[in-house]
A and B are shown apart, each in its own frame.
Chain A
Amino acid sequence: MNIASKRWIAVIGIILLLALISLPLLKHDTKEKHIATIMLEKKTVKTIDLSTVTKPYRIRIDTPSGGYNILEVRPNEIEVIEADCPDQCCVHQGIISDGAEPIVCLPHKLVVKIDYTSHDDHTSKQTAPPDAVTK
């Protein structure tokens, strides 16, 4: 094995090590997070304060391309329970409560993430198209 190959193995090792170290850090956050932000095609369509949710309910997000995602909102948790995207990745990602990993539905350009604060709470109501969210 030549020197160049050994260098590459070292580079791969470092990248892999960094990835492995950062993995548990992203799973759970130490800070309190409870604002769920639902984004569709770069725009925030809805923000929900999950700590105020007492009874589970469902919301339906219709995408401009004609698809849909149905989300279930529970106390401190949120989950995509049904979607008509081809890969069903968003459904399989399950419940998110804290942690940095958002639910992503790439075919529908939908992202559900949990934030510390609802800094864009009031702006979301203006930018949201009136028929995009139906309860």
Chain B
Amino acid sequence: MSTRKLTIMSLLTAIALMIFIVEAQIPPLVPVPGVKMGLSNIVTLFSIFWLGRKEAFYILLCRILLGSIFAGHMLTLMYSLSGGLLSFTIISLFYRTFSLKALWIPSIISGIFHNIGQILCAIYVTGTTAIAAYLPLLIISGCITGFFTGLLAQYITNHTAILNHPLHHSK
């Protein structure tokens, strides 16, 4: 891992962490547990398609761990981890089928699966399947927030495409 790559990755982690902490300070918009904007998804998405899956995974993991230390409690870690890892797995598995020109598609998919992962975790933590009743609401909110974070990631990739990419190996 070159110093340049490491620097870019740490920079992206810092940005993601900052967005995560600022977002945690915003009171919930809708009175449904688990609904949030998921703005740090922008960085994850951007790093998957700009740096690669392995690098994006490290950035995601660092952001979740540090984010839970700075802006939450142990339960935040569990929910973020279950949601983040599930959505990341799905996106990585179907990595090749996504187009760089339509980043909102993987973003919506990851929004949906992030919320499914969180629900599964909440069912495990509270021991009640009744929480699954929130699944439709969370899927809809995941689609909406996923669409907008995807658009943001798209704008960033469009603009960084002008820059000479230091690491991009494939395509």
Q: A residues engaging B (CB < 8 A)?
A: 1-2, 4-5, 7-9, 11-12, 15-16, 18-20, 22-23, 26, 39, 41-43, 86-90, 92-94, 99-102, 104-107, 109-111, 113
Contact residue among A2, A11, A92, A106 (Cβ-Cβ distance under 8 Å from B75): A106
Would A23 and B102 count as touching, CB distance under 8 A? no
How long is the Cα–Cα vector from A104 to B97 in the complex, in angstroms?
A: 37
- Return chain A residues, CB-CB under 8 Å to B122: 104, 106
Known contacts A12-B105, A106-B79: A20-B140 contact under CB 8 Å: yes
- Return chain B residues, CB-CB under 8 Å to A101: 133-134
- Return chain A residues, CB-CB under 8 Å to B135: 19
- Return chain A residues, CB-CB under 8 Å to B77: none
Known contacts A4-B98, A102-B128, A111-B131: A12-B108 contact under CB 8 Å: yes
Would A104 and B139 count as touching, CB distance under 8 A? no
Q: Which of B6-14, B27-35, B48-56, B163-171 touches A?
A: B27-35
Contact residue among B31, B97, B128, B137 (Cβ-Cβ distance under 8 Å from A4): B97
Would A107 and B130 count as touching, CB distance under 8 A? no
Q: Does B89 contact A (CB under 8 A)?
A: no
Contact residue among B126, B130, B136 (Cβ-Cβ distance under 8 Å from A42): B126
Shortest A114–chain B CB gap in Å is: 9
Would B127 and A23 count as touching, CB distance under 8 A? no
Contact residue among B79, B130, B143 (Cβ-Cβ distance under 8 Å from A12): B143
14 A-B pairs within 8 Å (CB atoms) are namely A12-B112, A16-B140, A19-B135, A19-B140, A22-B136, A26-B136, A93-B32, A104-B134, A106-B33, A106-B125, A106-B126, A107-B75, A109-B75, A111-B130
Would B139 and A102 count as touching, CB distance under 8 A? no
Would A109 and B136 count as touching, CB distance under 8 A? no
Contact residue among A12, A87, A99, A111 (Cβ-Cβ distance under 8 Å from B128): A111
Q: B residues engaging A (CB < 8 A)?
A: 27-28, 31-34, 73, 75, 79, 97-99, 102, 105-106, 108-109, 112, 122, 125-128, 130-131, 133-137, 139-140, 143
How long is the Cα–Cα vector from A43 to B99 in the complex, in angstroms?
A: 47
Would B28 and A89 count as touching, CB distance under 8 A? yes
Known A8-B98, A26-B133; 9 more pairs at CB < 8 Å: A4-B98, A5-B98, A12-B112, A15-B143, A19-B139, A23-B137, A26-B136, A42-B128, A104-B126
Contact residue among B31, B97, B106, B133 (Cβ-Cβ distance under 8 Å from A100): B133
Shortest B50–chain A CB gap in Å is: 19
- Return chain B residues, CB-CB under 8 Å to A92: 28, 31
